[in-house]
Amino acid sequence: MIWYPYAIQKNLIPPIKIIRGEGEYLIDENGEKYIDAVSSWWTSIHGHNHPQIIEAIKSQLDHLDHVMLAGFTHTPAEVLAGKLVELTENKFTRVYYSDNGSCANEIAIKIAHQFFKNQNLDSKVEILHFSKSYHGDTIGAMSVGGDSYFTGVYREILFPSPEFISPDCYECPYQKNPKTCNLECLENLKEYIDKYHEKVFSIILEPLVQGANGMVMYKEEVLDEIILLCKQKDILVIFDEVFTGFGRTGKFFAYQNLKNTPDIICLAKGLTGGTLPLAATLISDEIYQKFYSEDPIHAFYHGHTMTGNPPACAAALASLNLMENENRLKEVESLNLAFNRLKDDLGIQYNSLIKNIRVLGAIFAFDLLEETQIDRLKNYCLSKKVVIRPLGTAVYLCPPYTITESNLNHIISTLKEGLNLLLE
């Protein structure tokens, strides 16, 4: 009866039925334990069913299950908003809740456009994006995504958004060395903004790594240059931190790796530690002030039924407490060291099979030279009870930050065994 996502329906292999989660383990109906090497779509940063998060959800349910966040408020939503603002060092002063990353990005796009509309700058009608971007599966989010299986069939019904070649420091479209380049990847974008900035209201970016289109990584200087350029031309910069937020790149938020700051950031996935749906769009005070008005036309008319759901907010607060009290960024640092050792190791042994081995924070990825080998590697790992989910030719690891050393070693040894199998 279930129509499963991202799946060719005919001859669909029956999915594995999971009945329980414990730490980095997913446990099926037969009691078999699988190591979740991708944090269930990059959400379970503390592992599955962390007792402190589960207890926070249960405790909240004893008091309030839900209330609409219109004409009413509640303590978990208020405290969480304050905590998120604090974590950004007040660079963002307002929090707009939703329940998934796609909607967080939609909200950002609408706010960015209305920011100028509220100032009677009606010519600002374009938002820019990169070719390998992915910002979600709603119509607006797909409109600012690159051409792919995600968006291709819907292209005729999406709104127009100028697209620019993605920066990629491992597959540079201009064949430059990222250590010595002059950011040639931004030349077309700069030219467009110089010429048409009066009609551009925003650009939306996945900072440092474009996740869903294959863990495409690029350097910090690219983002700093874009932010600087956009500020000069009165264009708002949106960072889609749905994937990168909450430690995945080594900092609490990816933008904190930079010298400059975007105008809006969008958060989801790791926000509740993978337990309940919740997302947040964080906005600078400069933007908010253009909505602070008695004029009803200046209000932001957007809402979701489950906006700011109390148990989800309680889960998020517990997750943030774990991030700080158990020093998750230190664990990300340890994963980064392990992944860099693996990078050096695989680069020596498997250069005839793989390319573009890359590491960022707690993300490890490489590309297989032959796409036909992907399923074979994935199925081998699954046979060894390791869950990976390649993206095209990209094979990646994004485990929970709390993964044990022994289980991380098992993932690595399984990956090597699978690659050895492909060499035969």
Which member of 36, 99, 168, 240 is catalytic?
240
CA dist 248 to 46, 47, 238, Å? 12, 14, 18
Which member of 4, 6, 149, 301 is catalytic?
6
**3: buried, middle or exposed (CB in 10 Å: 19+, 13-18, 0-12)?**
exposed
Name which of 214, 201, 121 is nearest 159 in CA terms: 201
234 has catalytic annotation: no
HEC assignment per residue over 37-96: CCHHHHCCCCCECCHHHHHHHHHHHCCCCCCCCCCCCCHHHHHHHHHHHHHCCCCCCEEE
Q: Which helix (H) or strand (E) holds 98?
A: strand 94-98
* Buried/exposed 362-390: b ≥16 CB within 10 Å, e otherwise: bbbbbbbeeeebbeebbebbeebebbbeb
195 has catalytic annotation: no
110 has catalytic annotation: no
Contacts from 379-386 at CB under 8 Å and sequence distance 24+?
380/414, 380/417, 380/418, 380/421, 381/37, 381/414, 381/415, 381/418, 382/34, 384/410, 384/414, 384/417, 385/32, 385/33, 385/34, 385/35, 386/34, 386/35, 386/37, 386/410, 386/411, 386/414, 386/415
Name which of 151, 183, 153 is nearest 168 in CA terms: 183
**153: buried, middle or exposed (CB in 10 Å: 19+, 13-18, 0-12)?**
exposed
CA dist 35 to 6, 257, 386, 411, Å? 22, 30, 5, 8
Which member of 134, 255, 380, 396 is catalytic?
134
Which member of 97, 99, 269, 380 is catalytic?
269
For residues 297 and 114, what is the distance between their CA atoms, to the nearest angstrom? 10
Q: In the numeric block, which tokens belong to residue 424?
A: 């035969």
255 has catalytic annotation: no
Active-site positions? 6, 134, 240, 269
